């Protein structure tokens, strides 16, 4: 049976709290001290929940019913009205703005990055993103809206920077999704919408004089000895830096002057056999006292 204004006004406190039920889950919770609270009981995801709708008499019976109906409309869309209410409060306070979440992501994600990389990332956001969507609730940002921001960068001819900024925005959006502040990543919908980055080919050194200068520079290298050995070995085995970096002592036969790389490493059907020249063997023998007890011949060599 539905409540009436008279029944609500005349409700008096008792020794224990009690409820006056209205319709569709709405009820008035009367406390022993006299306070009266509107509550909505509902179910979502197989669980029963309660939602606060206000305090009587500040919120009348008519207003409580209107709030109940709004909450039930959200339930009809599969949205938890309590979660929706919390999100609205965060948005109003600016807690769910793109800038706020991006700064939170930056503080966490960049903690183990180099200072220069972290600084550049933040500069890109502050210069090219925050002025346009920094104050926007992150869950409301659309793909066309983000595309508009990125095309401002693209219009300057900074195509590579445009793609880097898109990737950063995508990381921020995925962080927002993971922390319950957004439902999708609009950056993921922009595939093919930006000008592609032109591939850059770095010329090989073919001038004998330049090759000599490179070899002398390697000989004069003052960094880690294992790194110097790997640099000296590279032109003697004609392999990629990553393959030299992953050279394992178990693959190297000094006596036979061979380096047998497993097929799986080379993405080939058969193992790859690299003949080792006298100079290559000398380099490996010079480093063996330093790294021979470990797995890799030249640990620490950058790829």
Ordered domains of the chain (ranges, CATH): 5-90 (3.30.160.390), 98-190 (1.10.150.130), 208-291 (no CATH)
State the average pLDDT over residues 200-225.
Answer: 79
- Range of lowest pLDDT (103-112, 169-178, 231-240, 291-300): 291-300
Phi-psi region of 205 (alpha: psi -120 to 50; beta: other; left: phi over 0): beta
Residues listed for the chain: 303
Which ranges of the chain does DSSP label H, i.e. alpha helix? 5-9, 61-76, 81-92, 98-109, 115-128, 130-133, 143-154, 159-178, 208-219, 225-237, 241-245, 263-266, 278-291
How confident is the model over 250-276, as pLDDT tens digits?
Answer: 999 999 999 999 888 877 788 899 999
* pLDDT band, very low/low/confident/very high, at 26 (cuts 50, 70, 90): very high
Residues of the chain with pLDDT > 70, as a percent, come to 95
How confident is the model over 269-293, as pLDDT tens digits?
Answer: 888 999 999 999 999 999 888 888 8
State the average pLDDT over residues 83-109.
Answer: 83
- Residue 56: which H helix or E strand, with range? strand 47-56
State the average pLDDT over residues 168-189.
Answer: 92
What's the whole-model pTM score?
0.46
**What secondary structure letter does DSSP report for 204?**
P
């Amino acid at each position: 049976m539905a409540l009436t204004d008279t029944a609500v006004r005349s409700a008096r406190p008792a020794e224990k709290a009690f409820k006056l039920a209205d319709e569709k889950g709405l009820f008035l919770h009367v406390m022993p001290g006299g306070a009266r609270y509107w509550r909505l009981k509902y179910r979502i995801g197989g669980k029963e929940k309660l939602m606060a709708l206000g305090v009587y008499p500040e919120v009348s019976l008519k207003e409580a019913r209107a709030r109940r109906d709004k909450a039930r409309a959200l339930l009809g869309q599969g949205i938890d009205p309590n979660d929706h209410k919390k999100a609205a409060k965060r948005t109003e306070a600016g807690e769910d703005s793109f800038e706020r979440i991006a700064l939170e992501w930056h503080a966490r994600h960049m903690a183990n990055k180099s200072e220069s990389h972290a600084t550049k990332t933040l500069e890109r956001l502050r210069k090219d993103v925050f002025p346009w969507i920094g104050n926007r609730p992150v869950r409301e940002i659309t793909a066309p809206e983000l595309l508009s921001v990125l095309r401002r960068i693209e219009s300057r001819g900074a195509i590579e920077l445009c793609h880097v900024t898109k990737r950063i925005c995508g990381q921020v959006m995925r962080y927002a999704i993971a922390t319950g502040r957004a439902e999708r990543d609009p950056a993921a919908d922009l595939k093919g919408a930006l000008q592609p980055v032109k591939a850059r080919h770095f010329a090989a050194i073919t001038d004998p004089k330049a090759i000599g200068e490179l070899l002398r520079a390697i000989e004069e290298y003052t960094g880690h000895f294992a790194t110097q050995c790997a640099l000296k070995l590279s032109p003697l085995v004609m392999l990629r830096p990553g393959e030299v970096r992953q050279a394992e002592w178990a693959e190297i036969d000094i006596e036979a002057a061979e380096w047998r790389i497993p097929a799986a490493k080379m993405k080939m059907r058969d193992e790859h056999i690299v003949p080792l020249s006298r100079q290559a063997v000398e380099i490996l023998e010079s480093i063996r006292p330093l790294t021979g007890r470990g797995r890799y011949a030249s640990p620490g060599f950058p790829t």
